[in-house]
């Protein structure tokens, strides 16, 4: 009976042991349990003052800097097609199919938002390509009321392709062919 009690006692002791704690007592296996890691919801450390980023990040576009931007994209069929696709995704709901400010969510189109400007109205003051680019990136910084920022949604050359597409809509509204190139 003594051997049986000893066996039962040994089984109870073995059953009470947590294999994870036993394994992690050995230094080699403890490396995954005790490590330097980023805690959830921890904020990143701010960069040192004067640090220059090597990748990512853009300079802010303001009214003053926007007019000095030069459109690097020529108005090619590829640029216009890409600009049209991006315009239809993000801009059409407010500005309408032809840029007349009568999109489905504008008051002119039966929606709740008043004051959506026409992009093709000849009475509007002429905006440079850089100013249109700035409106895409951050309209409120450019002084345009409730238009949301699209700089986080439209990236890279797609912004300039939208500028080219808006220029083609303006040419069509004036009776032009919509082709051509350059920075108007």
Per-residue pLDDT of the chain (184 residues; tens, 9 = 90+): 788 888 888 878 777 777 666 666 666 665 666 666 777 777 777 888 888 777 766 777 888 888 889 999 999 999 999 999 999 999 999 999 999 999 999 988 888 888 888 999 887 778 899 999 999 998 877 776 788 889 889 998 999 999 999 999 999 998 876 554 444 4
- If DSSP codes are grouped into helix, strand and coil, which group holds residue 135? helix
Q: Residue 177 gets which letter from DSSP?
A: -
Residues 82-120 as b/e (b if ≥16 CB within 10 A, e otherwise) read bbbebbeebbbbbbbeebbbbbeebebbeeebeebbbbb
Residues 24-58 as b/e (b if ≥16 CB within 10 A, e otherwise) read beeeeeeeeeeeeeeeeeeeeeeeeeeeeeeeeee
pLDDT of residue 8: 86
Q: Tell me how far apart the alpha carbons of residues 110 and 100 are, in angstroms, rounded to a whole number.
A: 14
Fold for domain 63-173? Cytochrome Bc1 Complex; Chain D, domain 2 (1.10.760)
> Which among 173, 151, 159 has a CA at the least distance from the CA of 101?
173
- If DSSP codes are grouped into helix, strand and coil, which group holds residue 133? helix
Q: Tell me how far apart the alpha carbons of residues 22 and 80 are, in angstroms, rounded to a whole number.
A: 66
- If DSSP codes are grouped into helix, strand and coil, which group holds residue 113? strand
Domain ranges of the chain: 63-173
pLDDT of residue 184: 43
pLDDT of residue 80: 97
Q: Tell me how far apart the alpha carbons of residues 115 and 101 are, in angstroms, rounded to a whole number.
A: 8
pLDDT of residue 130: 92
CB atoms < 10 A from the CB of 21, how many?
9
63 CB-near residues (< 8 Å, 6+ apart): 131, 134, 141, 142, 143
pLDDT of residue 153: 92
pLDDT of residue 7: 86
CB 108 within 8 A of CB 102: yes
């Amino acid at each position: 009976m003594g051997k049986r009690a000893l066996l039962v006692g040994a089984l109870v002791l073995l059953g009470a042991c947590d294999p994870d704690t036993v394994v992690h007592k050995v230094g080699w296996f403890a490396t995954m349990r005790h490590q330097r890691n980023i805690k959830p919801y921890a904020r990143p450390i701010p960069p040192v003052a004067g640090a220059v980023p090597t990748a990512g990040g853009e300079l802010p576009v303001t009214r003053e800097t926007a007019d000095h931007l030069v459109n690097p994209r020529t108005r090619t069929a590829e640029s216009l097609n890409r600009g049209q696709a991006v315009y239809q995704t993000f801009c059409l709901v407010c500005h309408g199919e032809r840029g007349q400010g009568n999109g489905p969510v504008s008051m002119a189109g039966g929606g709740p938002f008043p004051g959506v400007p026409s992009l093709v109205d000849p009475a509007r003051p002429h905006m440079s390509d850089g100013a249109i680019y700035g409106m895409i990136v951050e309209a409120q910084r450019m002084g345009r009321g409730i238009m949301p920022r699209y700089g986080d949604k439209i990236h890279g050359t797609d912004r300039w392709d939208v500028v080219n597409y808006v220029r083609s809509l303006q040419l069509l509204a004036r009776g032009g062919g919509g082709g051509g190139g350059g920075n108007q």
